[in-house]
Amino acid sequence: MSTRDDISNNIDWLTVMLFFFIALLGWMNIFAAVYDESANQNIFDMSLNSGRQLIFLGSSIILIIAIMVVDYKFYDTFGYFIYGGIIFLLVFVLLFGREVAGSKSWFELGPMRLQPSEFAKFATALAVAKYMSSSGFRIDRLSKQVVLFAIVGTPAILIILQGDTGTALVYSIFVLVFFREGMSPILLILGIASAIIFVLTLLVSNHLYLYIGIVVLGAISILLIKKKTIKKVGLVIAGGLIVSGVIVSVDYVISDVLKPHQQNRIKALINPDGDPLGYGWNVTQSKIAIGSGGFSGKGFLKGTQTKFDFVPAQSTDFIFCTIGEEHGWFGSLVTIGLFVALLLRIIHIAERQKWRFSRVYGYSVACIFFFHFAVNIGMTIGLFPVIGIPLPLFSYGGSSLWGFSILLFILLKLDSHRTQVLVH
């Protein structure tokens, strides 16, 4: 049995179809976003983003074939090497990279620009998978957890140093992977709770109400505990104090830790109408574009808001506006449906792996895709602060498309060999 037959027989063609379907939809919407009626443009025009995206897609296929041809054990065996290489590139770009729009995260190779942080995601996923599948790994061990967070945190910190906080935030989603793999949900719950408290603090101007709420909630929790051990009561009190600490620190975080543009993004989320021409501009215009689409949209290439530059970054981070405007709620439904289908399919694939390496990697892929999908669409409709990360496979950009292609197809490669793997 040749390798090629092996691949074609066992590859998950549904995922491949979803991949190409989403990528082609993205490509068409990139064209719509930059389309200028008066210029009589062609979707294949190389001077347009759509023409270039097609090249990126073509080269992605080459990458995919390469991934499929390489032996599946390579990704396990060389997981740390790949990770190490990427960390090296991240440091390198920090020192010698080119600064674009405030982020020093680009390499310039002739006419091409590469963003190593887009490739750090699959490398980190590989390293996490390798570490978690190593013999003797136990997720409830603090020492193992420290190593895990170091694997995830290192690229994140390097990317923050590059000035690209949005991409760095993606690494926080590994918490969901760890959760799936048996880590105590406390971290997940604490993270979500802190985020909720953080937003509540911004929404409720009088913090006294929050403190009263915490005291009441704490009292109820203590009452509900059946065995009132000192440890449990102490835990609740400690939790209350931590949450109160979050409230106290919000003002400090907002005004001293976050950069002005980040502060504005949070303000825009809390009160988008506060300054529609200033910090609220992006979100306001994005919502106008999407909201003006109605049920069925204005039609392909008929959008006005994106075309006339009211929406910023309309072919990259705000690409979803074009769908919302030109294809309406129906288009949104199809797009979101496709993404949810892809995500559930990836989880399905991950769950059917017998090898822990593949499963952890699969969950990493699902979670990274999920984070991008949720944050990207969430920000265009005003549910998340504006965090400049692309919609996977959809947004214009070579590094991003390659990064996600690699991420996904390594999983498909691993999946195609799932029957050959011996369970450790």
Partner 1 sequence: MDNSRKYIVQLIIILVGITFLTKLFSIQVLDTKYAKAANSNIINKVIDYPYRGIIYDRNGELIVYNTPQYNLTVIPNDVKKLDTIKFCEVFEITKEEFDEKINAARRFSYVQPSIFIKMLSNEDLARVQDHLVDFRGFNVQARTTRAYTKPVLSNALGYVSEVSKRQLERDTTNYYQQGDYIGQSGIEAYYEEYLRGRRGVKYKIKNVKGIEKGDFEDGKYDTLSIPGENLTTTIDLRLQEYGKELLEGKAGSIVAIEPSSGEILSLVSGPSYDPGLLTGRKYSTNFSAISLDTAKPLFNRPLMAQYRPGSIFKIIQALIALQEGAISRSTYIPCIMRPMKCHYHGPGETLVGAITNSCNPYFYNVMKRVVNTGLSEDSYEDTRLGLSSWTENVKSFGLGEPLGIDLPNEKTGLVPSVEYYDRAYNNRPWKYSNIYSIAIGEGENLVVPIQMANFAAIVANRGYYYIPHLVKSIGNSGQPLPQYLEKHFTTVDTKHFDVAVEAMAEVVRSGTGQYRAKLKDIEVCGKTGTVQNDPMPDHSVFIAFAPKDNPKIAVSVYVEDAGQGARAAASIASLMIEKYLLGETERPHIEEFVKKGEFLY
**Residues at the site binding partner 1, with contacts judged by CB under 8 A:** 37-38, 176, 179-182, 285, 287-295, 304-305, 307-310, 324-325, 328-329, 332-333, 336-337, 339-340, 343-344, 347, 351, 363, 366-367, 370, 373-374, 377-378, 381-383
- Between 87 and 287, whose beta carbon lies closer to partner 1? 287
CA dihedral 95, 101, 105, 108 (to 10 degrees): -80
- Between 240 and 328, whose beta carbon lies closer to partner 1? 328
To partner 1, the closest distance from the beta carbon of 379 in angstroms equals: 11
Q: Reduced to 3 states, what is the DSSP secondary structure of residue 352?
A: coil
- Where do we find the tokens 């992006």? 282
To partner 1, the closest distance from the beta carbon of 65 in angstroms equals: 29
- Between 105 and 353, whose beta carbon lies closer to partner 1? 353
Cβ distance 50 to 31 under 8 Å? yes
Kindly provide the residue ranges of all beta strands, DSSP E only, lying in 313-382, ordered along the sequence: none
To partner 1, the closest distance from the beta carbon of 394 in angstroms equals: 14
Scored b (16 or more CB within 10 A) or e, 238-272 reads ebbeebbebbeebeeebeeeeeeebbbbbbbbeeb
Q: Report the distance separating Cα 282 and Cα 409, nearest Å.
A: 34
Nearest residue to 346 (alpha-carbon basis) of 409, 304, 260, 301: 409
- Between 64 and 321, whose beta carbon lies closer to partner 1? 321
- Between 159 and 379, whose beta carbon lies closer to partner 1? 379
For residue 61, how far is the Cα from the chain centroid? 22
Cβ-based neighbours of 301, under 8 Å, separated by 6 or more:
31, 32, 35, 37, 326
To partner 1, the closest distance from the beta carbon of 382 in angstroms equals: 8
Q: Report the distance separating Cα 285 and Cα 310, nearest Å.
A: 6
Q: Report the distance separating Cα 40 and Cα 301, nearest Å.
A: 12
Cβ distance 358 to 414 under 8 Å? yes
Angle formed by the axes of helices 13-34 and 319-351, nearest 10°: 170
To partner 1, the closest distance from the beta carbon of 98 in angstroms equals: 27
- Between 134 and 229, whose beta carbon lies closer to partner 1? 134
- In total, the chain counts a number of residues equal to 424
To partner 1, the closest distance from the beta carbon of 320 in angstroms equals: 10
Q: Report the distance separating Cα 195 and Cα 219, nearest Å.
A: 22
To partner 1, the closest distance from the beta carbon of 86 in angstroms equals: 26
To partner 1, the closest distance from the beta carbon of 180 in angstroms equals: 5
- Between 106 and 363, whose beta carbon lies closer to partner 1? 363
- Between 328 and 392, whose beta carbon lies closer to partner 1? 328
- Where do we find the tokens 């949209």? 297
Cβ distance 405 to 18 under 8 Å? no
- Between 145 and 263, whose beta carbon lies closer to partner 1? 145
To partner 1, the closest distance from the beta carbon of 224 in angstroms equals: 22
